[in-house]
């Protein structure tokens, strides 16, 4: 799980650095990693039972996916400011990794 | 002994009497009874056997040709263009004219088919079982993928984890409930149909 | 316009459509017009039965439509062929555009406002001087994120947009258009489209002679216009022509969209589409100012014109969906509506499936493996799903991809590798269920249930209703706020029989709308309110069920008079208000008098002081022609429109020749080559639409312009006997026998060059995939002379697959996923490919196959 989070984070960092104009393949890669992270979190929640934390993590990952999709297939300009925020949410989640939540 | 076969002369005479061409050559209208033979006189339209008729709209393109659907004992008997319609005035194109063939296609499937993950064959399943399974899967996927709020508090109430495709071949009432349930009820966004393509 | 109104046209140009073959019954009205003396014209790459029945056939290279239509506009302006009294009064031809506007003419093919970094346009410089003009189309607003937000629309209430009726101002629309279309000369038309200049000029003559006070002309189009990365702009070009020539809102005039499915119009109005709520209300977007209902309404509601009524429609929709749980204290349940973050239309959805974002998918009477571009990618996406529900009446390629798909056939995947859980649920067909469908000219017609669907086959209404019932049950005990929407959703529809089929009339009654307190049907949308006292599922359909027991869509009384005078108001229901011709106020001059006796439709009756005539007037019934807004009072809504402004949905009541807001790729149509083309753009340095959606990725690579490996223009189309990508025609013995297998149409010249013989095999290839088909060597296809060299075109029907009786390779394997800049519609009409004789290696052929 932590691997997927790190991979997605790296993609978002790259996207924010390079700001690709259309169809950044980087968003596709980010979406792949985030989807796997989401699936792992959902599976773990089903296996171990849901907690407030597990639900919050799952929702945050889904929220990051929503923003990444909106950047990958923008209506109008690419919402870079939103991508920046989403990166922050993901980073926050990954730092929670230190406490074992994403292990 | 009863004579079973007519003589050649009798047969020719009978044919000549019934044959419509001489009458038409003699000047009688080819559009009236002169053109009718005994055989054609005794033919009856199969529509007369129908016990039900209703109006339908052609299921193919968007021209909206009206059709008349004839049925007997709940089985489709005949489908033709509705002559009252200002759109098609009784006509149908080759596709519209095949509508009865669609209903009666030998390749029509009337059972629920189920393919389990990684299976190599289809299985038949009861409709009720399938509906419950689909409802459960829908709920599970929605719950796994739902976002009520973005982490900064903005409400989105959506899921991108479930999609729906199709609608242009369906009725307005069906499309309405699809959008209402999937969008208004479950928060699905990826609802699309052939109008996009 | 109504289909039968085509019979009133004096000239019909069919372009982007093979109408005689694909909409044969509608084409009867074109033939009827011809019988009365009209000239029929077909502009199309192929000589089809449509061309054969027309007076003039003009061949053009696929994708070059804007060069041809731009050429017509150029001729109209240069030779003063336009209907001056009409266009000066009813269009924005005299409006003055912002000083900062720069035309592609002066910028090598790009408009002002282009931001290279994001490949998107800002629209400030396209506005009427000093104004911010709201688009009349909600879809435009939803899709244009950086549009200046609501509130600024107040500028529209301060006074009319600045105009120069003398048309001398250098930045008035007339002068801008003259400059913009300057290089669309007959020579250029011939050079780019391949159509001889003499044929082109003949068409201009015929069109101009058959437009004006006494005569009207119509355009008919289908997906031959929409399936491009600039499809919206092709239609826009026709709009400009019709606005200039006065062929709008009048008998026999208009632009007829020939749509492809029985209720494709209905499913657009009452949309199973991601970006709209029923009848053209925008889906909220979290990145717009849509946080609260108040924000949303403030941002989205135009201040002037009919759309100022939007809050009534939105609140009434929320009341219909959330019933008692929608009240003033919770923004009428607005927060239950899911908010968008981006484009989740079909093509992005396909790509999102590949990335694993989509986990479950419903497919309801659609067959994307055959009907969607890049078939192999569609298969790959579906193989990644957790579950897939397919509803159809016979086996489809989409339901069966895991067993017989191309990936499995090629050995790339085995069924045991595919983890998707799949349900095939059989459906009822027409005749086995009742309800309404909406045809291509907004005619909503009821159809009866005559037969019982066999076995487990059920209507889609049954499926969605019972799925909803089960889900409401599953969520009944939840205390989570996220589940409040499904709990609040009104879902009480009477069940009729032992199968518990819900009653579609009950649904139609909800779509029509009712008063909340006594649940009385509402007769017209003018009575909808924004105070929660009315509920309405689709305001434009209001009036279809105006009172108990009166379902207007069932009405079956056709006029028996002469067709020319008939509008058949007693036959079914046309939205809105049973109106047959939109903007029909334009059929009278500014004073309210018909432009001519021959073309009269709606006019002002000074005795009765109201609008009257042969159609339901598309205007405030009692507003006199000489009414003028009192600008000192900052008028809003319809108060801001004069009695001579027919285009009531537009903010200023004028037909937009120049579009200041809403379009992503420019206010005027501009010629670009398709993304894949054998030639350079002869007009500008800018090769293709700079804001086209090109999603290049592995498996979806595009051919560069002039790529010598793919030298031929490739186009796809339908057949009379088989229906689109659906299985329906292919499992019906009669029609399958008439078109038993796939073929590729090749000109005799190209066939000779490549050594391909009629009825023998040929292989087509692109970077997306390879397929084979029998060669149909035919003079229907001719080579084009483009810019001094020969360009060959090949074409193939896209209606075949591996299921059913009529089979053949899937043409959509060859196509890439690309999107129109505005609509995200895919491109199927102008790509490039390679071609060789023989078969694919996997099927016993030789060569690279």
**B162 contacts in C (CB within 8 Å)?**
358-362
Identify the band that residue C152 occupies on the pLDDT scale cut at 50, 70 and 90. Answer: confident
Can you list the domains of chain B with their CATH numbers?
8-41 (no CATH), 46-103 (3.30.200.210), 112-196 (no CATH)
Please judge whether B160 and A66 are an interchain contact, meaning their C-beta atoms are less than 8 angstroms apart. Answer: yes
| pLDDT exceeds 80 at position C383 | yes
Helix, strand and coil percent figures for chain C, each rounded to 5: 30, 15, 50
Judged by a CB distance cut-off of 8 A, whether residue B137 touches chain A is no
- The sign of the dihedral angle between the CA atoms of C228, C230, C234, C235 is positive
Judged by a CB distance cut-off of 8 A, whether residue C445 touches chain B is yes
Judged by a CB distance cut-off of 8 A, whether residue A20 touches chain C is no
Nearest to C65 by CA among C267, C234, C184, C303: C234
Q: Closest to C118 (Cβ–Cβ): which among A21, A25, A39?
A: A21
ipTM for this model: 0.97
Tell me which of C450, C545, C554, C565 to substitute to probe the interface with B (most B C-beta atoms closer than 10 Å).
Answer: C450
B131 phi and psi angles, rounded to 5 deg: -60, -40
Identify the band that residue A102 occupies on the pLDDT scale cut at 50, 70 and 90. Answer: low
| pLDDT exceeds 70 at position C110 | yes
Q: Which subunits have 3 or more CB–CB pairs within 8 Å of chain C? A: A, B
Q: Closest to A75 (Cβ–Cβ): which among C342, C357, C697?
A: C342
Task: Please name the residue of chain B whose CA is at the shortest distance from the CA of residue A45.
Answer: B144
Query: What is the 3-class SS of C714-729, one letter each residue?
Result: EEEECCCCCCCCCCCC
| pLDDT exceeds 70 at position C739 | yes
Judged by a CB distance cut-off of 8 A, whether residue C120 touches chain A is yes
Q: What distance in Å separates residue A38's CA from the closest CA in chain C?
A: 9
Q: What is the DSSP letter of A57?
A: H
| pLDDT exceeds 50 at position C848 | no
Nearest to C35 by CA among C566, C440, C564, C561: C564
Question: Chain-wide mean pLDDT for chain C?
Answer: 96
Contacts of B43 (CB under 8 A, 6+ apart): none
Contacts of C795 (CB under 8 A, 6+ apart): C45, C46, C714, C715, C716, C717, C744, C745, C781
How confident is the model over B9-50, as pLDDT tens digits?
888 887 877 888 888 888 888 777 777 888 888 888 888 999
Q: Which CATH number fits domain C3-89+180-257: 1.20.1260.10, 3.40.228.10, 3.40.50.150, 3.30.70.1400?
A: 3.40.228.10
Helix, strand and coil percent figures for chain A, each rounded to 5: 80, 0, 20
Judged by a CB distance cut-off of 8 A, whether residue C447 touches chain B is yes
Please judge whether B160 and C459 are an interchain contact, meaning their C-beta atoms are less than 8 angstroms apart. Answer: no
How confident is the model over B53-95, as pLDDT tens digits?
999 999 999 999 999 999 999 899 999 999 999 999 999 999 9
Identify the band that residue C28 occupies on the pLDDT scale cut at 50, 70 and 90. Answer: very high
How confident is the model over C535-592, as pLDDT tens digits?
999 999 999 999 999 999 999 999 986 655 689 999 999 999 999 999 999 999 999 9
| pLDDT exceeds 90 at position C849 | no
**Distance, CA of C278 to chain centre:** 16
Q: What is the pLDDT of residue B32?
A: 77
Judged by a CB distance cut-off of 8 A, whether residue A55 touches chain C is no
Average pLDDT rounded to a whole number, residues C794-802: 98
Nearest to C823 by CA among B197, B81, B36: B197
Judged by a CB distance cut-off of 8 A, whether residue C277 touches chain B is yes
Tell me which of C4, C223, C414, C431 to substitute to probe the interface with B (most B C-beta atoms closer than 10 Å).
Answer: C431
Name the region of C763 (left: φ>0; alpha: ψ -120 to 50; beta: rest): beta
Q: Which CATH number does C693-843 carry? A: 2.40.40.20
Domain extent listing, chain C: 3-89+180-257, 693-843
**C696 contacts in A (CB within 8 Å)?**
23
A43 phi and psi angles, rounded to 5 deg: -60, -45
Identify the band that residue C341 occupies on the pLDDT scale cut at 50, 70 and 90. Answer: very high
Give the tokens for residue C547. 């009172």
Tell me which of B137, B141, B147 to substitute to probe the interface with A (most A C-beta atoms closer than 10 Å).
Answer: B147
Q: What is the pLDDT of residue C137?
A: 77
How confident is the model over C232-251, as pLDDT tens digits?
999 999 999 999 999 999 99
Q: How many domains does chain A have?
A: 1
Tally of CB atoms within 10 A around C481? 12
Cα atoms in the 13 Å half-sphere on the side-chain side of C19: 30
Judged by a CB distance cut-off of 8 A, whether residue C361 touches chain B is yes
Question: What domain range includes position A8?
Answer: 2-99
Judged by a CB distance cut-off of 8 A, whether residue A22 touches chain C is yes
Q: What is the pLDDT of residue A23?
A: 66
| pLDDT exceeds 50 at position C456 | yes
Q: What is the pLDDT of residue C841?
A: 86
Q: Which of the residue ranges C141-145, C303-307, C394-398, C657-661 would you say has the lowest mean pLDDT? A: C141-145
Q: Closest to A79 (Cβ–Cβ): which among C287, C348, C359?
A: C287
Q: What is the pLDDT of residue C562?
A: 63
């Amino acid at each position: 799980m932590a691997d997927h989070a790190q991979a997605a984070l790296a993609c978002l960092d790259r996207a924010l650095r390079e700001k690709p104009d259309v169809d950044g393949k980087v968003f596709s890669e980010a979406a792949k990693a985030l989807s796997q992270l989401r699936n792992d979190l959902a599976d773990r929640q089903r296996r171990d039972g849901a907690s407030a934390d597990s639900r919050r993590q799952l929702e945050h990952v889904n929220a990051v996916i929503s923003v990444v999709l909106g950047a990958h297939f923008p209506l109008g300009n690419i919402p870079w400011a939103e991508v920046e925020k989403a990166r922050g949410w993901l980073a926050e989640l990954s730092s929670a990794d230190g406490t074992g939540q994403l292990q | 002994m009863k004579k079973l076969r007519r003589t050649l002369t009798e047969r020719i005479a009978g044919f000549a009497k019934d044959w419509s061409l001489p009458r038409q050559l003699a000047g009688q209208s080819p559009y009236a009874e002169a053109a009718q033979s005994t055989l054609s006189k005794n033919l009856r339209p199969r529509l007369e056997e129908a016990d039900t008729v209703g109006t339908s709209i052609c299921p193919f393109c968007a021209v909206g040709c009206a059709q008349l659907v004839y049925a007997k004992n709940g089985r489709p008997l005949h489908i033709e263009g509705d002559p009252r319609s200002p759109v098609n005035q009784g006509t149908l194109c080759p596709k519209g004219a095949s509508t009865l063939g669609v209903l009666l296609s030998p390749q029509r499937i009337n059972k629920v088919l189920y393919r389990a993950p990684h299976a190599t064959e289809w299985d038949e399943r009861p409709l009720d079982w399938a509906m419950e399974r689909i409802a459960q899967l829908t709920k599970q996927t929605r719950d796994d993928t739902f976002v009520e709020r973005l982490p900064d508090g903005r409400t989105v109430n959506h899921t991108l984890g479930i999609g729906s495709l199709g609608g242009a071949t369906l009725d307005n009432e069906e499309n309405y409930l699809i959008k209402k349930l999937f969008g208004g009820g479950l928060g699905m966004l990826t609802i699309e149909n052939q109008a996009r393509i | 316009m109504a289909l039968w109104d085509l019979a009133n046209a004096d000239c019909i140009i069919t372009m982007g459509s093979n109408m005689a073959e694909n909409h044969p019954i509608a084409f009867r009205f074109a033939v009827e017009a011809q019988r009365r003396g009209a000239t029929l014209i077909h502009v199309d790459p192929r000589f089809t039965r449509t061309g054969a029945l027309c007076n003039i056939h003009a061949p053009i290279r696929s994708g070059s439509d804007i060069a041809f239509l731009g050429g017509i506009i150029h001729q109209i302006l240069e030779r003063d062929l336009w209907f001056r009294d009409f266009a000066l009064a009813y269009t924005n031809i005299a409006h003055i555009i912002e000083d900062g506007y720069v035309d592609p003419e002066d910028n090598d093919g790009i408009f002002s406002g282009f931001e290279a970094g994001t490949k998107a346009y800002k629209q400030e410089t396209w506005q009427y001087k000093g104004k911010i003009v709201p688009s009349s189309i909600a879809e435009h607003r939803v899709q244009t994120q950086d549009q200046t937000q609501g509130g600024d629309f107040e500028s529209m209430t301060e006074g009319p947009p600045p105009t120069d009726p003398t048309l001398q101002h250098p930045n008035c629309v007339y002068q801008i258009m003259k400059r913009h279309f300057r290089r669309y000369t007959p020579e250029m038309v011939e050079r780019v489209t391949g159509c001889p200049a003499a044929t082109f000029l003949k068409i201009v003559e015929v069109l101009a002679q058959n437009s004006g006070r006494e005569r009207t002309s119509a355009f008919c189009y289908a997906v031959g216009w929409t399936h491009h990365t600039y499809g919206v702009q092709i239609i826009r070009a026709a709009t400009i022509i019709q606005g200039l020539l006065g062929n709008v809102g009048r008998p026999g005039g208009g632009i007829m969209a020939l749509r492809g499915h029985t209720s494709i119009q209905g499913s657009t109005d009452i949309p199973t589409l991601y970006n709209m709520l029923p009848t053209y209300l925008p889906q909220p977007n979290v990145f717009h100012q849509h946080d609260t209902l108040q924000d949303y309404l403030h941002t989205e509601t135009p201040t002037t014109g009919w759309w100022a009524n939007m809050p009534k429609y939105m609140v009434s929709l929320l009341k219909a969906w959330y019933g008692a749980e929608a009240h003033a204290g919770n923004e009428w349940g607005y927060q239950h509506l899911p908010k968008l973050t981006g484009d989740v239309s079909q093509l992005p959805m396909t790509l999102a499936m590949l990335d694993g974002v989509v986990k479950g998918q419903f497919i309801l009477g659609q067959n994307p493996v055959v009907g969607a571009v890049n078939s192999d990618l569609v298969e790959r996406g579906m193989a990644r799903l957790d579950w897939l529900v397919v509803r159809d009446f016979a086996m489809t390629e989409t339901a069966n991809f895991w067993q017989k798909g191309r990936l499995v056939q090629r050995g790339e995947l085995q069924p045991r590798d595919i983890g998707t859980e799949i349900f095939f649920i059989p459906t009822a067909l027409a005749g086995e269920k009742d309800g309404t469908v909406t045809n291509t000219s907004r005619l909503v017609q009821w159809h009866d249930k005559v037969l019982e669907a066999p076995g487990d086959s059920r209507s889609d209404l049954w499926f969605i209703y019972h799925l909803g019932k089960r889900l409401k049950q599953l969520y009944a005990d939840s205390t989570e706020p996220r589940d409040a929407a499904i709990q609040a959703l009104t879902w009480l529809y009477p069940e009729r029989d032992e199968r518990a089929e819900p009653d579609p009339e009950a649904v139609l009654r909800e779509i029509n709308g009712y008063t909340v307190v006594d649940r009385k049907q509402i007769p017209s949308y003018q009575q909808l309110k924004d105070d929660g006292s009315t509920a309405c599922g689709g305001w434009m359909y209001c009036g279809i069920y105006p009172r108990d027991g009166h379902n207007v869509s069932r009405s079956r009384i056709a006029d028996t008079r002469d067709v020319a005078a008939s509008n058949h108001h007693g036959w079914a229901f046309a939205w809105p208000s049973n109106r047959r011709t939109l903007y029909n106020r334009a059929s009278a001059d500014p004073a309210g008098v018909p432009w001519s006796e021959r073309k009269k439709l709606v006019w002002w009756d000074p005795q009765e002081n109201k609008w009257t005539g042969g159609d339901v007037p598309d205007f405030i019934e009692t507003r006199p022609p000489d009414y003028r807004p009192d600008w000192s009072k900052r008028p809003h809504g319809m108060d801001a429109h004069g009695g001579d402004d027919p285009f009531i949905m537009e903010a200023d009541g004028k037909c937009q020749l120049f579009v200041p807001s809403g379009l992503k790729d420019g206010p005027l149509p501009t010629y670009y080559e398709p993304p894949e083309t054998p030639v350079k753009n002869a007009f500008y340095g800018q090769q293709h639409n700079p804001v086209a959606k090109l999603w290049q990725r592995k498996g979806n690579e595009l051919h560069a312009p002039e790529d010598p490996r793919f030298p031929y223009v490739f186009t796809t189309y339908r057949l009379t006997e088989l229906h689109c990508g659906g299985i329906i025609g292919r499992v019906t013995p009669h029609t399958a026998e008439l078109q038993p297998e796939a073929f590729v149409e090749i000109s005799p010249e190209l066939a000779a060059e490549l050594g391909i013989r009629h009825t023998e095999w040929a292989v087509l290839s692109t970077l997306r995939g390879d397929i084979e088909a029998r060669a149909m060597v035919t003079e229907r296809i001719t080579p084009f002379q483009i810019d001094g060299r020969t360009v060959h075109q090949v074409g193939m029907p896209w209606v075949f697959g591996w299921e059913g009786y009529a089979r053949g390779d899937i043409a959509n394997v060859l196509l890439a996923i690309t999107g129109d800049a505005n609509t995200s519609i895919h491109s199927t009409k102008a790509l490039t490919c390679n071609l060789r004789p023989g078969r694919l290696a996997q099927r016993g052929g030789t060569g690279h196959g």
